[in-house]
């Protein structure tokens, strides 16, 4: 029976060979007693499997492994590496999320807002917004960038103010708008700082309330000046009316005194004088002179009122008013002097009449009476001149409105 080499697998025909004729491997010699008898079935033998040849691994030493022959070789166990690569902790720009993060559902694809904890930052000053709305309703909203809110609040406040004169009860509406403007400005600034409302920048119309306030102040000042001018003209006209009333009385009185003087002169030329008539005329004249007093008091009152109106006027109007006031006071002084001189004239005339009736005429008293009358005539003439100047100035004031 043939056998095979255990090393190379070469079939060995001659069973008594000690070595393999191919590879030279030592073979096992089988004895005859170990052979299977012919009458018994031989067991199926599996051919031996060839052995796998593994060549030896050679390692090339590195520069660091070259050792000095004089130094002993120390074999150290290889330590496991503990190096941990650095981790980038700074998120990319795309990973920075807004205060309200958006997350997408992987199953439905819908986007939902994910609320995060809000951190309050000082973007808008709440106290400044409150103060601005306190000063001008709607100004704080413009400071917060809410243009339409500011314009609506400011417009409603102005409209409510216009109705205050006609409807005093609308003051409550004005107060509510004013308080709401302050609250809304403060609340909006707080929400901007918390990130609940986006801040797009201060409104471009931020300075509009200041411009409007300046225009309103200018308009009010112009209106006040116009009203003052009208009041000045009206007060001046009142003075003129009072003085004209006095002049009318004086004109009538002058006509009466001229008639009485003619009667007096004619009676003085006769021997049979009508003394009762002459005394009656003198007493009538004195009563008329005393009746001038209420007119003079009214003129003085109107001049005082006029003086109170001639302040803070515009341009030439103030100059005209001041000069007119000087003329008014001068005319008033002349009218007072006229009344005083005429009264002195009538009293001197009465004294002279007494001396004539007593049979000893006093020419000195008659001369004093005539001098008093001349002074009265000069005073009324000066009053008329001052009145004419005052009328011219009043016309200039009216033309300058």
Helix (H) or strand (E) holding 354: helix 316-357
Residue predicted with more confidence, 322 or 75: 322
- For residues 290-300, give the mean pLDDT: 90
- For residues 60-76, give the mean pLDDT: 46
Q: Domains in the chain, please, with CATH?
A: 1-31 (no CATH), 126-206 (no CATH), 226-399 (1.20.120)
Which residues have a Cβ under 8 Å from the Cβ of 273 and sit 6 or more positions away?
267, 356, 357
Residue 162 has a pLDDT of: 83
| Other beta carbons within 10 Å of 176 | 12
Assign 55 a pLDDT band (cuts: 50, 70, 90): low
Residue 225 has a pLDDT of: 66
Assign 116 a pLDDT band (cuts: 50, 70, 90): very low
Query: Is pLDDT at 337 greater than 90 in this prediction?
Result: yes
Assign 41 a pLDDT band (cuts: 50, 70, 90): very low
Q: What is the mean pLDDT of the chain?
A: 77
Query: Is pLDDT at 9 greater than 50 in this prediction?
Result: yes
Phi and psi at residue 177, in whole multiples of 5°? -65, -40
Residue 95 has a pLDDT of: 43
Q: Per residue in 342-379, pLDDT tens?
A: 999 999 999 999 998 888 888 899 899 889 989 998 99
* Cα distances (Å, whole numbers) of residue 314 to 213, 221, 317: 22, 10, 6
Query: Is pLDDT at 98 greater than 50 in this prediction?
Result: no
Assign 71 a pLDDT band (cuts: 50, 70, 90): very low
Instruction: Kindly state the percentage of the chain with pLDDT values over 70.
Output: 74
Residue 302 has a pLDDT of: 87
Assign 17 a pLDDT band (cuts: 50, 70, 90): confident
- For residues 150-157, give the mean pLDDT: 89
Q: Per residue in 198-230, pLDDT tens?
A: 888 888 888 888 888 888 888 887 777 666 667
Return the closest-CA partner of residue 155 out of 204, 205, 209.
Answer: 209
Q: Per residue in 123-146, pLDDT tens?
A: 888 889 999 999 888 888 889 988
Query: Is pLDDT at 101 greater than 70 in this prediction?
Result: no
Which residues have a Cβ under 8 Å from the Cβ of 36 and sit 6 or more positions away?
42, 43
The tally of CA atoms less than 13 A away on the side-chain side of residue 254 is 14
- 3-class state of residue 155 by DSSP: helix
Which residues have a Cβ under 8 Å from the Cβ of 239 and sit 6 or more positions away?
299, 302, 303, 306, 328, 390
- For residues 20-37, give the mean pLDDT: 64
Query: Is pLDDT at 94 greater than 80 in this prediction?
Result: no
- For residues 108-120, give the mean pLDDT: 48
Q: Per residue in 237-294, pLDDT tens?
A: 888 888 888 888 888 888 888 888 888 888 888 878 888 999 999 999 999 999 999 9
Query: Is pLDDT at 69 greater than 50 in this prediction?
Result: no
Residue 286 has a pLDDT of: 92
Query: Is pLDDT at 46 greater than 80 in this prediction?
Result: no
Chain centre to alpha carbon of residue 209 = 5
CA distance 256 to 349: 15
């Amino acid at each position: 029976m043939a056998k095979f080499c255990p090393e190379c697998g070469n079939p060995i025909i001659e069973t008594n060979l000690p070595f393999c004729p191919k590879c030279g491997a030592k073979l096992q010699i089988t004895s005859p007693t170990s052979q299977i008898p012919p009458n018994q079935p031989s067991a199926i033998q599996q051919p031996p499997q060839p052995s796998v040849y593994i060549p030896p691994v050679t390692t090339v030493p590195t520069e660091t492994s070259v050792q000095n022959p004089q130094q002993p070789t120390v074999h150290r166990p290889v330590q496991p590496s503990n190096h941990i690569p650095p981790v980038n902790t700074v998120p990319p720009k795309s990973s920075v999320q807004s205060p309200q993060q958006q997350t997408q559902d992987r199953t439905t694809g819908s986007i939902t807002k994910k609320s995060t904890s809000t951190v309050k930052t000082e973007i808008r000053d709440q106290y400044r917004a409150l103060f601005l709305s306190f000063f001008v309703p709607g100004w704080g909203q413009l400071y917060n960038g809410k243009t339409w809110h500011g314009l609506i609040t400011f417009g409603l406040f102005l409209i409510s103010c216009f109705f205050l004169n006609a409807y005093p009860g609308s003051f409550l509406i004005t107060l509510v708008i004013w308080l709401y403007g302050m609250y809304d400005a403060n609340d909006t600034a707080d929400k901007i700082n918390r990130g609940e409302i986006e801040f797009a920048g201060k409104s471009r119309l931020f300075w509009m309330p200041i411009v409007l306030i300046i225009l309103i102040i200018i308009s009010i000042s112009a209106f006040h000046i116009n009203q003052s001018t009208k009041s000045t003209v009206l007060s001046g006209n009142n003075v003129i009316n009072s003085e004209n009333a006095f002049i009318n009385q004086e004109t009538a009185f002058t006509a009466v005194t001229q008639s009485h003087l003619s009667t007096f002169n004619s009676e003085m030329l006769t021997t049979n004088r009508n003394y009762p008539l002459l005394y009656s005329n003198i007493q009538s004249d004195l009563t008329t002179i005393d009746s001038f007093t209420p007119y003079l008091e009214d003129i003085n009152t109107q001049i005082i009122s006029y003086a109170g109106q001639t302040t803070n006027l515009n341009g030439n109007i103030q100059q005209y008013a001041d000069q007119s006031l000087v003329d008014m006071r001068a005319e008033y002084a002349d009218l007072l002097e006229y009344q005083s001189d005429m009264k002195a004239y009538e009293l001197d005339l009465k004294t002279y009449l007494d001396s004539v009736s007593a049979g000893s005429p006093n020419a000195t008293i008659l001369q004093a009476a005539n001098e008093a009358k001349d002074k009265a005539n000069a005073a009324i003439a000066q009053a008329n001149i001052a009145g004419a100047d005052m009328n011219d100035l009043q016309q200039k004031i009216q033309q300058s409105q």
